[in-house]
Amino acid sequence: MAFKIKYKFTDEKKYYTCTVTFEQYKNFKELPIIQECEVIKKNQKNLDEYKKEMERALDLAVKNDTSHIRRLSENI
């Protein structure tokens, strides 16, 4: 199951949203570049391709590369 989260990067005022699985959410909120992170909407549809892209984005974010995760996120 996937759900939508709202988050903010450290030292930024803007919030972003993206869709993640539970396992991705656990990893996401532990990233040192993330200041705030919360679940805002559950989504039942199958998002296999998106999950793969988010995994890649999380791998890059661990290396402080936020470019991919920013592309997958919406500015709110």
Q: What are the residue ranges spanned by the domains of the chain? A: 2-75
pLDDT at 3: 86
User: What average pLDDT does this structure show over 46-57?
Assistant: 75
Query: How many CA atoms does the CB half-sphere of 11 hold within 13 Å?
Result: 2
11-28: average pLDDT: 91
| Tokens at 12, concatenated | 């930024």
Write b or e for each residue in 19-37: b if 16 or more Cβ atoms lie within 10 A of its Cβ, otherwise e: bbbeebbebbeebebbeeb
User: Is residue 72's pLDDT more than 60?
Assistant: yes
Whether the CB-CB separation of 12 and 69 falls below 8 Å is answered with no
The whole-number average pLDDT for the span 10-23 is 91
